[in-house]
Chain A
Amino acid sequence: MASTPIDTDALVIGAGPVGLFQAFQLGLQGIACHIVDALPHPGGQCAELYADKPIYDIPGIPVCTGRELVERLRQQIAPFQPTFHLGQTVETLQATGDGRWAVGTNTGSAWRAKTVFIAAGVGAFVPRSLSIEGLVPHMGRQVWFASSPLPDFAGQHLLVTGDGDSALQACLDAASTAASVTLMHRREHFSAEPERMEAFKAAQATGRVRFVAGQATAIAVAGERLTALRCLNAEGAEVDLPCDQLVMALGLSPKLGPVAQWGLQIERKQLVVSTDTFATSAPGIFAVGDINTYPGKKKLILCGFHEATLAAFGASAYLWPNDKTLLQYTTTSTTLHQRLGLI
């Protein structure tokens, strides 16, 4: 269901490090923005893939983790109060006919934006599914992704697949009310926070949850109802794990998705930009970070910061073609100090 579009000067697609810094540079130019991202939190790859891994090539920060970089960027952009729209994926981007862009997401959010900044990295992070046939008709009734809000499993036989925090947590959340809780993974080895593994072991000891080693091969159905997950067990035998409800907690992976269908000039699935303003082939649409390509492109966060800076200057000139876009220094400019909320 589409809501009334939000009018904005700028919409940033992607809340990874480059999307966040884009909001900062737009803020310095006096341009307020909205930011949309598929994940329920900002950070993109830094949050999903490198949260605890060190980054050594951010200028002025000898070392920080992905999570720390995101936190610092959030602090840095706070004065500009960008509006976040999280947990939704941009699906459509179309010219409106009055020089603006109509942008819509899978959850019905919509904008009419004068400028759009595509900072979508390697795509939207979407939940991974079990690689078996026939799950789709049961989604939202008996089959769920752990990354989405889950229903109450009271009185139900619940089967969870996965080995991470979200898998263990889904088991623990249902342990006291579900009829039974079974966790299935290839082997009994989890990649979760120690406290959560402790809690899971404790629940296992009381018999409230159980673990089964196995690999899903198919689903068993009776009429329209899913009745079991068929698996190869540790001995290589095919067994049915009966269940009323199935939760897939297999993590997230990026998918480039509909970007290629937006009518922008593409080269090897990446958006072609000019290196003076990082404008794409469409007026008012800029592309920054891993999603763009140009001669000499390097997929580095620090290059994305440079791209976002020039894109913000480009947007300023695009939005106010009759005004001269001034180069001002944050050290000395009273205008910038006002925008940063310092005076």
Chain B
Amino acid sequence: MTHVVTENCIRCKYTDCVDVCPVDCFREGPNFLTIDPDECIDCAVCIPECPANAIYAEEDLPADQQHMIKLNAELAQLPSWKSITKRKAPLPDADEWKDKSGKLKELVR
């Protein structure tokens, strides 16, 4: 079990979640945050923090986001995706991208 960041985060990256993570399990890419499943302890504290409602417990993941389990794990292993532990400014056009769906093609590794 782990928690999973879904496509909702892509091109938003509000980073509110990283402030509350007790185990610092978020990793940062250019326009997406991922959860390292080996570090996450399923405390669920990050879920209500996300303005884009992007974070789910693995077993609550919507059917159309199942692919994000594998993608979170994969991105967390990329050497260029570093640990992020403190909130920073969201991407400049985060609010415009917030409620858009089908953003997977926008993901930058």
Query: Interface on A for B, CB 8 Å cutoff?
Result: 45, 49, 122-123, 128-129, 131, 215, 232, 253-256, 268-270, 290, 299
Interchain CB contact under 8 A, B38 and A268: yes
- Selected from B38, B39, B41, the residue in CB contact (under 8 A) with A122 is B41
CB distance from B57 to the nearest CB of A (A): 10
CB distance from A124 to the nearest CB of B (A): 9
CB distance from B55 to the nearest CB of A (A): 15
Interchain CB contact under 8 A, A232 and B89: yes
Interface centre among B21, B22, B41 (most CB of A within 10 A): B22
- Selected from B19, B43, B88, the residue in CB contact (under 8 A) with A290 is B43
Interface centre among B20, B21, B43 (most CB of A within 10 A): B43
Contacts of A256 in B (CB 8 A): 22-23, 41
A sample of 16 more A-B contacts (CB under 8 A), given A253-B45, A254-B43, A256-B23, is A49-B45, A128-B19, A131-B86, A215-B89, A253-B19, A253-B20, A254-B20, A254-B45, A256-B22, A256-B41, A268-B38, A268-B39, A269-B23, A270-B41, A290-B43, A299-B44
B82 located at the interface, meaning its Cβ lies under 8 Å from any Cβ of chain A in the complex: no
Contacts of B23 in A (CB 8 A): 256, 269
User: What CA separation (Å) do A255 and B85 show in the bound complex?
Assistant: 11
A-B residue pairs in contact (CB < 8 Å), sample of 17: A45-B45, A122-B22, A122-B43, A128-B19, A131-B86, A131-B88, A215-B89, A253-B21, A254-B22, A254-B43, A255-B22, A256-B22, A268-B38, A268-B39, A269-B39, A299-B42, A299-B43
Which residues of chain B from 66 to 109 have a CB within 8 Å of any chain A CB? 86-89
* CB contact under 8 A between A268 and B41, given known A131-B87, A215-B89, A232-B89: yes
User: What CA separation (Å) do A188 and B39 show in the bound complex?
Assistant: 36
Interface membership of chain B positions 10-22, coded 1 if the CB is closer than 8 angstroms to chain A and 0 otherwise: 0000000001111
Interchain CB contact under 8 A, A122 and B45: yes
User: What CA separation (Å) do A254 and B18 show in the bound complex?
Assistant: 11
CB distance from B39 to the nearest CB of A (A): 7
CB distance from B84 to the nearest CB of A (A): 10
User: What CA separation (Å) do A205 and B33 show in the bound complex?
Assistant: 41
CB distance from B75 to the nearest CB of A (A): 19
CB distance from B85 to the nearest CB of A (A): 9
User: What CA separation (Å) do A290 and B42 show in the bound complex?
Assistant: 9
User: What CA separation (Å) do A254 and B19 show in the bound complex?
Assistant: 9
Interface membership of chain B positions 27-48, coded 1 if the CB is closer than 8 angstroms to chain A and 0 otherwise: 0000000000011011111000
Contacts of B21 in A (CB 8 A): 253
Contacts of A232 in B (CB 8 A): 89
Contacts of A131 in B (CB 8 A): 86-88
User: What CA separation (Å) do A128 and B39 show in the bound complex?
Assistant: 21
Contacts of B43 in A (CB 8 A): 122, 254, 290, 299
